[in-house]
Amino acid sequence: MQSLNKISLIAPCGMNCGICMAYLREKNHCPGCRGAEANKPISCARCIIKNCRTFKKGKAKYCFECDNLPCDRLKHLDKRYRNRYNMSMLENLEYIRKHGIRKFVRNEDKRWTCSKCGGRINVHRGNCVECGKVFYKIPKKLG
């Protein structure tokens, strides 16, 4: 399984694209938010956060560098990921701000590596993409 030690896999919102279902799939593999637009799911290509004028103008690499943090879109995304996928974009961004991107990607690699086989844990499914070990259950409805 690929290493997550790629800074380019960390989206402006703090999402680790290396654990995303679209990135991990073999067919129509998404290159991540910062990657080329080819094969990107339409929701990612049109992402309001990734396409924010602050990033388009090159004024920031991550949302924590924006004066409007947290914007309504990021708050909504963070709430959904906290409730459904056991992770927080806002916590990720704060960690990056305090400790730096390199330390963040090292920790992400450890956090999202399967303890059974060393495969990658899919944040959207809650299981290892290699051996299927379940790490958490995805709720049917958002809380």
The structure tokens listed for 7 are 């800074």
Q: Which residue has the higher pLDDT, 74 or 142?
A: 74
Q: Considering the domain boundaries, does residue 68 fall inside one?
A: yes
Q: Structurally, how many domains does the chain consist of?
A: 1
> What is the pLDDT at residue 31?
87
Structural domain including 15 reads 7-113
Over the chain, what is the mean pLDDT?
86
Q: Is residue 119 part of a domain?
A: no
Summarised one tens digit per residue, pLDDT across range 21-70 is 989 988 888 888 888 777 777 877 778 787 787 666 677 789 898 888 88
Give, in degrees to the nearest 5, the angle at Cα 80 between 54 and 39. 60
Please indicate, yes or no, if residue 141 is contained in any of the structural domains. no
Q: Is 25 a member of any domain?
A: yes
Average confidence (pLDDT) over 8-28: 91
Whether 143 has a pLDDT exceeding 50, the answer reads no
CA distance 29 to 24: 7
Using CA atoms, how far apart are residues 19 and 121, in angstroms rounded to an integer?
6
Has residue 56 been placed in a domain? yes
Mean pLDDT of 81-90: 93
Report yes or no on 133 lying in a domain.
no
Residue 1 in any domain: the answer is no
Q: Is the pLDDT of residue 5 over 60?
A: no
Q: For the whole model, what pTM was predicted?
A: 0.84
Taking the C-alpha atoms of residue 105 and residue 83, their distance in angstroms, rounded to an integer, is 23
